[in-house]
């Protein structure tokens, strides 16, 4: 009876998973190919660029099924410390489970079409935009909605404090969030 329930639940999990994303195996993330990410971002086109940071750029990636959309953080490996940052983020994000923090789906450690080392994280795509998008609307981007009310801002503040408390006190081992930018928090409105 227990075996039957386990087999049924395994089939349901497999059916829900997108064929374009690799499955998670024994707590480890199976890697996705550079080719799949290049196709999904249209060759890492500027039109799909969501943002840039000190260690790399983040792109919107739409897979061939046109329903699976993810964010891809491509590390600039010429930047000192970026490889170390990639490994640290893979380890940290794989353990993090909080409704206000971006979830890692998988990673890519490969060679690009030019024969250069390529490292990227595949993250959940924030359809509602990041907190930064809501707080600081740019004129070149469509606004995700009306401005936030005082009550919404207070709710967000409480969520951020809860997320930081989770990272510092409830995550094992604790994660010290040095760079807690508004772009790292998802907006669930």
List helix spans (H) across the chain.
2-16, 34-40, 82-95, 131-135, 150-165
Rounded to an integer, what distance in angstroms lies between the CA atom of residue 48 and that of residue 59?
5
Burial of 121 (0-12, 13-18, 19+ CB in 10 A): buried
Q: End-to-end distance of the chain based on CA atoms, in angstroms?
A: 41
User: For the CA atoms of the chain, what is the radius of gyration?
Assistant: 18
Strands 69-75 and 104-111: unpaired
Q: Provide CB contacts within 8 A for 135, sequence distance 6+.
A: 148, 182
The reply, when asked if residue 10 is annotated as ligand binding, is no
Please spell the DSSP secondary structure of 106-125, one letter per residue: EEEEEE-TTS-EEEEEEEE-
Task: Extract the annotated binding site for ATP.
Answer: 73
Task: Extract the annotated binding site.
Answer: 73
């Amino acid at each position: 009876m227990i075996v039957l329930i386990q087999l049924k639940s395994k089939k349901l999990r497999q059916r829900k998973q997108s064929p374009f994303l690799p499955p998670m195996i024994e707590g480890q993330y199976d890697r996705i190919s550079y080719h799949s990410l290049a196709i999904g971002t249209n060759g890492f086109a500027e039109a799909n660029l969501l943002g840039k940071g000190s260690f790399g750029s983040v792109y919107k990636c739409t897979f061939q099924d046109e329903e699976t959309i993810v964010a891809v953080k491509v590390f600039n490996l010429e930047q000192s410390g970026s490889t170390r940052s990639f490994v640290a983020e893979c380890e940290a994000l794989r353990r993090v489970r909080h409704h206000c923090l971006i979830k890692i789906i998988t990673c890519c450690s490969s060679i690009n079409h030019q024969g250069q080392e390529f490292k990227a994280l595949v993250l959940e795509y924030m359809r509602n935009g990041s907190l930064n998008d809501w707080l600081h609307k740019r004129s070149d981007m469509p606004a995700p909605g009306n401005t936030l009310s005082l009550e919404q801002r207070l709710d967000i503040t409480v969520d951020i404090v809860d997320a930081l408390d989770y990272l510092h006190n409830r995550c094992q081992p604790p994660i010290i969030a040095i760079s807690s930018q508004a772009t790292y928090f998802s907006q669930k409105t």
